[in-house]
Amino acid sequence: MTSYGVFSRASGHEEVIFCHDDPSGLRAIIAIHSTALGPALGGVRMRPYTTEAEALNDVLLLSQGMSYKSALAGVGLGGGKAVIIGDPATGKTDGLLHAFARRVNSLGGTYITAPDAGTTVRDMDVIGEHSKHVVGRSPECGGFGDPSPYTALGVFRCMLASMEFLRGSGSLRDRVVGVEGAGKVGYHLVRYLIDGGARVAVTDVDEGALARIRSLGDVRTVASADELLTLPLDIFAPCALGGSLTAERAASIQARIVCGAANNQLAEPDVATSLHRRGILYAPDYLANAGGLVHVAGELRGFDSERTRSAVMSISDTLGEVYQMATADHVSPAEAADRLARRRIAVGAS
């Protein structure tokens, strides 16, 4: 195991650890961005990154995002993330997850792992056989299962808060919402939207996911995000992968609000400014999608569904504050959210 302290100081991270384990084939990077507000919690992502540099870039960005997300969600945690380099469909073994668990243990609880893209609740159960520094396990193994419904609730509430800010009325009745990605979060989000009286259009690359969404009720499905964006949307909700908001889309999108669950929605940081200049309200992704974090954080303290639900509901209050700050400071909501998060982390560190 190698710890790159000098490098991590340069990038603002507390510690970046490169892990290699020959017997299991584990190649992983754990990035601890900040422990100023508590232990660094963040999921472990498994992807067949083509280079170690690509994996490093991903883990550095994601771990910083987790620090900001935790700071704004007020969960008393810091931010970290891990990536395992490999194909989750073919390269994942219990031995590899156990080796990863041992690396997590070697950090003495400063990093707490959780599921992310390419890892599952079952994988957390396997890691939990060798480490106590893991959340997002199944109820059979002492966890609280899938956080996606809570993530969806937080996003839905942030849509209401965005409508309130922009239109003075926190209602989605007859508003047109386009959802990109009908996976775990997208499914529950569409459920909330239908209940809230919205008109919903959805796209997904997976026909099975679209079929599940259609079973929820009157939902229009379209072939691609580009087609979705030609509809007269009030809200665009990126709930698939990161990078959906490209400079081109930011220049042409007609929706007045962007609010979704995907991490790293902005293909480039400048996109936030482009949206802002066009008067399009962007709910910062790490704030809008913090419901899942609130859910898994509850696992560390003994889960209480009412307390968790109310903490998720209050994410939209923080979003309202961020919109007010952005207006007062003449900056984009993304910049206002970053400033608020950095302030809270600095207070924790002092």
Which residue among 143, 186, 284, 298 contacts ligand NAD (CB under 6 A)? 186
The smaller minimum CB distance to ligand NAD, of residues 66 and 99, is found at 66
> Which one of the listed residues 69, 81, 92, 184 is annotated catalytic?
81
Annotated active-site residue 69? The verdict is no
Q: Write phi, then psi, for 188 (nearest 5 degrees).
A: -70, -35
The smaller minimum CB distance to ligand NAD, of residues 99 and 255, is found at 255
Asked if 78 contacts 53 with a C-beta cutoff of 8 angstroms, the reply is no
Which residue among 38, 39, 78, 183 contacts ligand NAD (CB under 6 A)? 183
Asked if 61 contacts 333 with a C-beta cutoff of 8 angstroms, the reply is no
Q: Does 46 bind ligand NAD (CB under 6 A)?
A: no
The pattern of x and - marking residues 191 through 220 that bind ligand NAD according to CB under 6 A reads ------------xxxx--x-----------
Q: Least distance to ligand NAD from the beta carbon of 261, Å? A: 4
Q: Least distance to ligand NAD from the beta carbon of 217, Å? A: 18
Q: Least distance to ligand NAD from the beta carbon of 151, Å? A: 4
Asked if 7 contacts 31 with a C-beta cutoff of 8 angstroms, the reply is no
Asked if 236 contacts 262 with a C-beta cutoff of 8 angstroms, the reply is no
Q: Does 67 bind ligand NAD (CB under 6 A)?
A: no
Q: Measured between alpha carbons, how far is 345 from 107 in angstroms, rounded to an integer?
A: 21
Which residue among 27, 92, 103, 184 contacts ligand NAD (CB under 6 A)? 184
Q: Least distance to ligand NAD from the beta carbon of 308, Å? A: 13
Which residue among 15, 125, 180, 234 contacts ligand NAD (CB under 6 A)? 180
From the number of C-beta atoms within 10 Å of its C-beta (0-12, 13-18, 19+), residue 11 rates as: middle
Q: Write phi, then psi, for 235 (nearest 5 degrees).
A: -130, 135
147 CB contacts (<8 Å, ≥6 apart)? 136, 291, 292, 293, 295, 296
Q: Does 182 bind ligand NAD (CB under 6 A)?
A: yes
78 CB contacts (<8 Å, ≥6 apart)? 32, 33, 34, 35, 36, 37, 38, 39, 40, 41, 66, 67, 70
Q: What is the dihedral of CA 76, 157, 155, 33, to 10 degrees?
A: -20
Number of residues that bind ligand NAD (CB under 6 A): 26
Which residue among 35, 263, 274, 316 contacts ligand NAD (CB under 6 A)? 263
Q: Measured between alpha carbons, how far is 277 from 280 in angstroms, rounded to an integer?
A: 8
Q: What distance lies between CA 256 and its chain's CA centroid?
A: 22
Q: Least distance to ligand NAD from the beta carbon of 345, Å? A: 20
Q: Least distance to ligand NAD from the beta carbon of 207, Å? A: 9
Per residue in 129-164, is it b (16+ CB within 10 Å) or e — as a string? ebbebbbbbbeeeebbebbbbbbbbbbbbbbbbbbb
Q: Does 292 bind ligand NAD (CB under 6 A)?
A: yes
Q: Does 261 bind ligand NAD (CB under 6 A)?
A: yes
For 287, half-sphere exposure in the C-beta direction (CA atoms, 13 angstrom radius) is 30
- Window of 90-98, 156-164, 181-189, 247-255 that interacts with ligand NAD by CB under 6 A: 181-189
Q: Which residue is nearest to ligand NAD (CB)?
A: 183
What residues line the site for ligand NAD (CB under 6 A)?
117, 147-148, 151, 180-186, 203-206, 209, 225, 239-242, 261-263, 289, 292
* Residues with active-site annotation: 81
